[in-house]
Structure 1
Amino acid sequence: MLTARQKTVALLTLCLLPLAPVPAQASAGSADRAAGGQLQRRPVVLVHGYNADPGVWGSLRGDLRAAGYTDAELFSWGYDTHQSVNEVLAGRLASYVDEVRRRTGADRVDIVSHSFGSLVSRWYVKFGGGTAAVDHWVSLAGPNHGTSTAWACALWDQACRDMTPNSYVQKNLASGDETPGAVTYATFWSHCDEVVNPDSSVPLTGATNTAVGCLAHNDLLGDPATKAGVRAFLAS
C-alpha cells in the first residue's frame, strides 16, 4: 500500500512528463521506394506514453534518420492518453496503422512504444488484428504487468486504471500467450524506473528483454545505448 506521500510523488511523476513540439508527419504517397516500387524499410509507428505527445520521439527519430530512414518511413501517432486501452485507443491505433500501410504500400509495420503506449499497442496486436500487420514490436519501459504508481490517479482516470496491477486490461493481456503470432517482440527496462513498479513488470515471456541499467523512466527515450538496441532490433 502506498503512503500518502508516495501517492503524491507517483502522481506528479505520471503527470509531469516532458512535452515537445510535434514533428511533421509523412505525407500520403511520399515514401521512398526501391526498384520494383517496394519500400526500402518497414514503416515505423511510434506510440508515446501517458500524458505525452509525439514530440517525445525527437531523439529516436533523429537516430533512425541517421541510420537511413526517411521521414516518409517514420510515423508518430498522437492520441488522448486518458481514454480506455481496450474500448477506444487500440481501435484508433489499428485505424492509424491501416492508414500507414495504405500510404506506404507496406504489408507490415514496426511499432515502438513507450510506457502506457505499450499497453495500447499490445492490445491492438493481441486482440485487434495486429498480428497480421505488425512485424517488430518494441516496448520501452512499458507497465506490461501493471504498475502500483497508477493507483495515484486511478480514481478519476481510465488510463491509470488500465495500468494498475490486475486491471481488466492487465488480466487479458497476460492471459494465454503474452507474445502471440509471428510478431517479433522486444522490451527494454530499467531497474531504477520511478514510474513502473515493480521494474519486473516490463519484460514479457517470449520477448527479447533487455536491461538498460539505471535509467529514469523517460530517459530510455534518449539513451544512446537503448536507441542503438532499438535500431538493431528493428534491423533484425
Structure 2
Amino acid sequence: MEGRDVTLRTLAPVVAALLLLSAPAARADADEELPVIHSSAAALAHASAHPDTPPPGANDWSCEPSAQHPRPVVLVHGSMENMTFNWFSLSPQLVNEGYCVFALNYGQMEGLHLGVPGASRTSGIGPIQNSAAELGGFVDEVLAATGASEVDIVGHSQGGTMPRYYTKFLGGAGKVANLIGLSPGNHGSTALGLAKLPGVPELLGLGLGPAFAQQVHDSPFIADLNAGGETVPGVRDTVIQTQWDEIATPYTTSFLNGPEVTNILMQTQCPLVGSDHLSIAFDSIAAHHVLNALDPEHATPAPCYPTPPFNGG
C-alpha cells in the first residue's frame, strides 16, 4: 500500500493538470470529501483558472464548528502569494477533517508587482502592520459568523510571522489559540546573505513592496516584533520548518523561543523530506504536522517518505 501511495503522490501533478479545471471548488454534499492534491503545480493550474476565489472548501460562512474542532482555522498566505494558490492542498484536507476553514487575501497594493497567479492584485506585499490589521478584521468576521471565541491560525512564510504582530500589538492574543507557521521568517531572513549587503533591503522594498524590506535580518520591524519576548501568553506557537529553505535563511530564523513553543525541523523526524520554502505548503508530511498541532490530544506519528522540492507531494 505504501508503494502505491508514493506512486499516487508522484502522479498527482499530472492527474491534476488533466482534471483540475473541472474540479468543484466546494462540496455539494457535507458527507462528500474534497479531493486533496499535494502539488504546487496543480495549485498553479487551479489558481490560474479560478483567480480571486477561496481555496477548495474554505469560506463557508454557514459552517458551524463541531465539538471535536470548536475553533475555526484561518489560513494566512505568504508574500507574493494568495489564498487561492497557497492553500489549494491544505484547505480541503482540513475541511475533510471536519474543520471550518477560512482564508483571506491581504497586503495588496496598487500598481504592477510580481506575484503568483490566483489574485487580480499581488497580495502580501504591503506594510505588515497594515496587513495585521486586515487579519484582525477578518478574524472578527470569522468569530461573529461561527460563534466561536477563538480561532487557530496557520500561516506560510510572512503568513506565519505577520499574525504575531496581530497577537502582540493589535489585541489578537485573546482571539487566537494556536499559531502554526510553515517556514516563517520570525527573526528575519538574510536572503542567502544578500540582505546583509548595503542597500539591498531598500531595493527589495522598492521592487517588491514594503513587506519584503520589513522581513530582512535586523530590520526595525523584526527588532520591534521580538523585543520583550517572542511569544504572547495564551497563544501556543508551532513552527514547522525545512532545512532546505532557501528564502527564510538560515532556516533556524524560523524557530521561536518561549514557554508555549514547539519547533519542528521536518528532517529530524524524516531525513527524506525534500520540501523547500515554497513546497512546504504543499507537502503532505508538513500537513500531518499541522493536523497534530491543531489537535495535539489526537496527534499521531508523522509518516516518512521522499517529498520533492518546488512541487511538494
The two structures have a TM-score, normalised by structure 1, of: 0.83
1:32/1:40 contact within 8 Å kept: no
Q: 1:80-99 to 2 correspondence within 5 Å?
A: 80=108, 81-86=124-129, 88-99=130-141
Give, as a single letter, the amino acid of the residue that structure 1 aligns with 2:104.
W
1:83/1:158 contact within 8 Å kept: yes
- Aligned-partner SS, 1:215: coil
Select 2:284's aligned residue among 211, 224, 231: 224
**Mapped pair 1:74 → 2:101:** yes
Partner of 1:100: 142
CA drift of 1:64 comes to 1.1
Quote the Cα distance in structure 2 between the aligned partners of 1:45 and 1:180: 18
Quote the Cα distance in structure 2 between the aligned partners of 1:85 and 1:194: 21
Partner of 1:211: 265
1:32/1:39 contact within 8 Å kept: no
Quote the Cα distance in structure 2 between the aligned partners of 1:33 and 1:233: 17
In the superposition, relative to structure 1, how do residues 33 and 100 fare at CA in structure 2: closer, same or farther (>3 Å)? Answer: closer
Partner of 1:154: 205
Give, as a single letter, the amino acid of the residue that structure 2 aligns with 1:32.
E
Residues paired across the two proteins, number: 211
Unaligned runs of 5+ in 1: 1-17
Quote the Cα distance in structure 2 between the aligned partners of 1:32 and 1:154: 41
Partner of 2:239: 187
Partner of 2:63: 31
User: Any idea what the Cα deviations from partners look like across 1:163-201, whole Å, max 9, x if unmatched?
Assistant: 111112100111112111111110011111111111110
Quote the Cα distance in structure 2 between the aligned partners of 1:216 and 1:40: 30
**Mapped pair 1:173 → 2:201:** no
1:118/1:139 contact within 8 Å kept: yes
The two structures have a TM-score, normalised by structure 2, of: 0.64
Quote the Cα distance in structure 1 between the aligned partners of 2:68 and 2:104: 20
**Mapped pair 1:60 → 2:90:** yes
**Mapped pair 1:46 → 2:67:** no
- Aligned-partner SS, 2:173: helix
2:244/2:275 contact within 8 Å kept: yes
Give, as a single letter, the amino acid of the residue that structure 2 aligns with 1:26.
N
Higher relative CO (Cα under 8 Å, sequence separation at least 6) belongs to: 1
- Aligned-partner SS, 1:131: coil
**Mapped pair 1:137 → 2:179:** yes
In the superposition, relative to structure 1, how do residues 65 and 161 fare at CA in structure 2: closer, same or farther (>3 Å)? Answer: same
Quote the Cα distance in structure 1 between the aligned partners of 2:59 and 2:184: 26
- Aligned-partner SS, 2:87: helix
CA drift of 1:41 comes to 2.4
CA drift of 1:40 comes to 4.5
Partner of 1:115: 157
Runs of 4+ with deviation above 6 angstroms: none
Quote the Cα distance in structure 2 between the aligned partners of 1:231 and 1:89: 26
CA drift of 1:33 comes to 5.2
2:75/2:154 contact within 8 Å kept: yes
User: Any idea what the Cα deviations from partners look like across 1:110-150, whole Å, max 9, x if unmatched?
Assistant: 00000011222110011111110000101100111111226
Quote the Cα distance in structure 1 between the aligned partners of 2:161 and 2:98: 29
Identical-residue share of aligned pairs (%): 32
